[in-house]
Structure 1
């Protein structure tokens, strides 16, 4: 009897241990999700919402004078999602949306004279990779090349030429947002052409920003004179490093420095993730509200890191999964994401950030959901 009881006890302990191990494994599982929260379902809903939406204008009721960067980011995300989900119908709709830029909507194609305008090139470059239509390549390269071309246009600053003389883009501003706007189009140009010059100069630029702006805790102030860790600002940097590292050749001399900056940031973000999976409007401020665009960007960075083996799956997989499942709860019946911080300039005032408007359906929030869905589907 004692032997039988001992055996049953051992079996119970083993089963408990196995269940605990299985639960731990499932917590970090980035492949299987409950029905209604799978990347295929969510990505499709948000992408279809994008297709049905008019060109946004930062919340204004009037049409934009030029295509805005939040739309570009969502468009890029929808295209990559269509590719990874093998949804040819969606890809066709996204391509059709672009066609007027060669004719009736040519006037609202932005000029490549500022980082927020030049990122537009990421979309035609993605279209070229998916369709092989040379019109898209020609347009996309024009944007990528101009970013490192001769300074000209209304946004040229006195320091623009000095940056160009250092081998940086003349569009350099030392705002953390730049590190997505610049790396996205340059990485895309490299992927489309195979010309390493594009991604090499983006990597050089990233190192300058890391050396200049990253704080000892791994995060980034909104600006050197604004000592606040604004969520979406840091999100642009996290997403930008992820996009760059995803394609940066392993023999690039700047890869090690960028990877160090990326991993330091990811480790810091782990400490500030709320129990519900969200990150906050001010990352390190427990009184700040949960904000979706930054959470989406950080989740994308962690998903990409785990999928590529840069981050430990047992550590970062659960954080990424928890963030994704939390974000899904912020999507309403129209496939609009809630609690998106409105467009935000810098200001050395904590209350300014806490009081920012919370928008529903803004492309700043829609885009990261699409990036996450794509990243979760990538092998």
Structure 2
């Protein structure tokens, strides 16, 4: 297996590469990064906010491949400490993200209290739905954050709604997630480039090379959100072919933007304007491409090689103590930043990627 993967990488992406990863090595990197983040929680963010919630999704993915109970136990302790509450803003997609972890713990333990606050919150939204005005203008649309009006929201909220459907059998949660996904897609998805604008304020902006502005992590959020929708969306659901088509379109578009080192730059269509290596968008892309190969939705060639090359690069940014570097700070457009910067959501992306690379390497 190792020699075949090395040959595949060399043929498809002919640059100097380290040896193909092995499953044990992937797991070691994942555990080291997760342990560091758990031991060094960010002082900037409250525990239930999206910055950390994205990390927790990665911890749950790690829990599926690690034999240690410490990752499961850390997430159980989080839920118990906070009474299984979501973050405080009832409509805000970012504040729904932690519900993904609660639902996945519910799948294991089947304790209704784990999803009760989320269910009450989502029932309130269903009974008091806002309109579909997604214009991201503070003055014209002051309640814009009550909708999924920015592309990041597609990772934060819809997968939580779908998981609540899976936990309860109440199809209203699934219907809401699917319907609102396509409202956002119709508004933010550029059908020519097959990528997402971050929000409507970006529509008219252009990069120094004259091309449209497509933010790497923003599109990474969407691709990871597609994965987390598709992994639970029923095979016979009428919208599934549409989700699959968008996933495949975006995968092809993203692959064209991959740089020779296996990573993506903060701007997908103008890498030269932002030459810094960046790990959070790259981590989410690695996760999505590897998952697509694992599920048979993407052909093994060239996507497996692309994902493995990304993982080999990502590993180099996990420091000996486990800290992940080269994570773009919180934002909404491509920027330059301190190469030593780290954030919990970057670690979440790494762990999600590692979980699918680990599966990709299964003999």
Normalised-by-shorter TM-score class: 0.7 to 0.9
Give ranges in structure 2 of 5+ residues lacking alignment: 13-18, 135-143, 206-212
Write the distance in 2 (CA, Å) between the matches of 1:246 and 1:71. 22
Determine which of 226, 229, 245 is the counterpart of 2:230: 245
Q: Match of 1:115? A: 93
Write the distance in 2 (CA, Å) between the matches of 1:34 and 1:312. 20
Write the distance in 1 (CA, Å) between the matches of 2:150 and 2:161. 17
Determine which of 262, 265, 285 is the counterpart of 2:270: 285
Determine which of 271, 279, 284 is the counterpart of 1:297: 284
Q: Match of 2:140? A: none
Q: Match of 2:159? A: 184
Q: Match of 1:314? A: 301
Q: Match of 1:350? A: none
Q: Match of 2:16? A: none
Q: Match of 2:114? A: 136
Q: Cα distance, 1:186 vs. partner?
A: 1.2
**TM-score (normalizing by structure 2):** 0.81
Query: Is residue 229 from structure 1 mapped to residue 214 from structure 2 by the alignment?
Result: yes
Of 189-198 and 216-225, more deviation after overlay is shown by 189-198
Q: Match of 2:57? A: 76
Write the distance in 1 (CA, Å) between the matches of 2:330 and 2:256. 26
**TM-score (normalizing by structure 1):** 0.78
1:37/1:365 Cα in 2 relative to 1: closer, same or farther (>3 Å)?
Answer: farther
1:262/1:21 Cα in 2 relative to 1: closer, same or farther (>3 Å)?
Answer: closer
1:205/1:38 Cα in 2 relative to 1: closer, same or farther (>3 Å)?
Answer: farther
Q: Cα distance, 1:249 vs. partner?
A: 1.1
Q: Cα distance, 1:179 vs. partner?
A: 0.8
Q: Match of 1:376? A: 357
Determine which of 246, 250, 258 is the counterpart of 1:265: 250
CA contact (8 A) 1:83 1:91 kept: no
CA contact (8 A) 1:84 1:374 kept: yes
Kindly report the root-mean-square deviation, in angstroms, between the aligned alpha carbons of the 2 structures: 3.0
Write the distance in 1 (CA, Å) between the matches of 2:326 and 2:109. 35
Q: Cα distance, 1:231 vs. partner?
A: 0.8
Write the distance in 1 (CA, Å) between the matches of 2:4 and 2:31. 33
Matches within 5 A, 1:326-365: 326-345=313-332, 353-358=334-339, 360-365=341-346
Q: Cα distance, 1:43 vs. partner?
A: 1.8
Matches within 5 A, 1:209-228: 209-215=184-190, 216-226=192-202, 227=205, 228=213
1:68/1:20 Cα in 2 relative to 1: closer, same or farther (>3 Å)?
Answer: closer
Q: Cα distance, 1:217 vs. partner?
A: 1.5
Write the distance in 2 (CA, Å) between the matches of 1:129 and 1:321. 30
Q: Cα distance, 1:53 vs. partner?
A: 2.7
Q: Match of 1:201? A: 176
CA contact (8 A) 1:175 1:222 kept: yes
Residue by residue over 1:335-370, the C-alpha shift from the partner in whole angstroms, topping out at 9 and shown as x without a partner, is: 111111111145xxxxxx333455533112111011
Determine which of 68, 78, 81 is the counterpart of 1:100: 81
Write the distance in 1 (CA, Å) between the matches of 2:331 and 2:99. 23
Write the distance in 2 (CA, Å) between the matches of 1:297 and 1:147. 29
Q: Cα distance, 1:100 vs. partner?
A: 1.6
Write the distance in 2 (CA, Å) between the matches of 1:196 and 1:87. 35
Q: Cα distance, 1:25 vs. partner?
A: 7.7
Residue by residue over 1:249-279, the C-alpha shift from the partner in whole angstroms, topping out at 9 and shown as x without a partner, is: 1221211222211111110111110111000
CA contact (8 A) 1:176 1:234 kept: yes
1:315/1:146 Cα in 2 relative to 1: closer, same or farther (>3 Å)?
Answer: farther
